[in-house]
């Protein structure tokens, strides 16, 4: 699945990240979303590695990466903490400046990395994601109905972990192995059946409703913006436009004009349209490098 790539477990002190990396050229880090692991990128990575050093970690709390003990406000699972992981990981691998690509929850980490570490990030790509605060401030009945898992996984009085772990196969529905790729499917399901991973994913959503929202709000008050070139990849058959034009929502957060491309796929772009995603990434980094 990852011919020519190296698999490592990198101890960053607070967490240990499982990471796969390979290729040569300017570095690009790929950040998966919920509930995937880094193996979701397996087809995209082979294309990117022909031109770029390609790095794919499991986010803290996901896959086979660890998660620190819970903190007040769920700060241990904040996107700020995950962004710090990305910067330390890339430094460990010898990369001081890099492009960052994130899908779904990973797009929030990519955004936070570009905001908090502008000197380290050369390009930002967000796939099917918006700043958390933009979702929360636009919440209405339609959003609550369509994205109800945010509130289910984000509450703490009746923890979602007990429900999910009681029957993971009923909770998570995935494509068949021949569609996802045998290795990717197996890796994902090993994670979904792990109670520690389920807890880590719930903590991600809890941080989103609290710490991440607070961080976005503070940035907006301070007038902070992403300084590097940015690209939005939007799935044609998903609902990122539930609040209206996602490109228009993104633009105030960016110091430069946003590039925007629609990918003919459902939500999991890297699995459903890997060539289109790879082409978009290669073109964006080349033209804005």
**Active site annotation includes 117:** no
Catalytic hit among 51, 92, 117, 267: 267
Place of tokens 């996107």: 79
99 torsion bin: left (phi>0), alpha (psi -120 to 50), beta (else): beta
How far apart are alpha carbons 266 and 234 in whole angstroms? 9
Catalytic hit among 58, 85, 104, 204: 104
Cα 26 to chain centroid, rounded? 20
What sign for the dihedral angle of Cα 99, 104, 109, 113?
positive
Dihedral Cα 169, 175, 181, 183, nearest 10 deg: -10
**Active site annotation includes 267:** yes
**If we measure between CA atoms, which residue out of 61, 51, 4, 52 comes closest to residue 28?**
52
74 torsion bin: left (phi>0), alpha (psi -120 to 50), beta (else): left
- Residues carrying an active site annotation: 104, 267
């Amino acid at each position: 699945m990852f011919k020519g790539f190296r698999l490592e477990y990198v101890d960053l002190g607070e967490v240990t990240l499982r990471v796969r990396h390979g290729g040569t050229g300017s570095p690009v880090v790929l950040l998966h979303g919920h509930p995937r692991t880094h193996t979701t990128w397996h087809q995209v990575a082979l294309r990117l590695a022909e031109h770029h050093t390609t790095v794919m970690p499991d986010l803290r709390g996901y896959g086979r990466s660890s998660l620190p003990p819970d903190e007040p406000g769920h700060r241990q699972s904040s996107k700020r903490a995950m962004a710090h992981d990305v910067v330390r990981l890339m430094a460990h691998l010898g990369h001081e400046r890099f492009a960052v690509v994130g899908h779904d929850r990973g797009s929030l980490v990519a955004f936070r990395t570009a905001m908090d570490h502008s000197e380290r990030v050369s390009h930002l790509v967000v796939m099917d994601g918006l700043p958390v605060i933009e979702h929360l401030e636009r919440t209405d009945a339609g959003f609550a109905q369509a994205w109800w898992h945010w509130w289910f996984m984000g509450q703490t009085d009746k923890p979602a972990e007990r429900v999910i772990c009681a029957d993971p196969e009923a909770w998570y529905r995935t494509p068949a192995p021949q569609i996802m790729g045998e290795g990717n499917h197996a890796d994902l399901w090993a994670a979904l059946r792990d109670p520690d991973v389920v807890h880590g994913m719930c903590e991600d959503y809890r941080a989103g409703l609290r710490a991440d929202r607070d961080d976005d709000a503070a940035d907006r008050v301070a007038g902070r913006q992403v300084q590097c070139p940015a690209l939005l990849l939007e799935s044609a058959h998903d609902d990122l436009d539930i609040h209206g034009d996602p490109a228009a929502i993104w633009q105030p957060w960016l110091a430069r004009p946003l590039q925007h491309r629609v990918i003919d796929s459902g939500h999991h772009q890297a699995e459903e349209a890997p060539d289109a995603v790879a082409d978009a990434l290669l073109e964006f980094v080349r033209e804005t490098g």
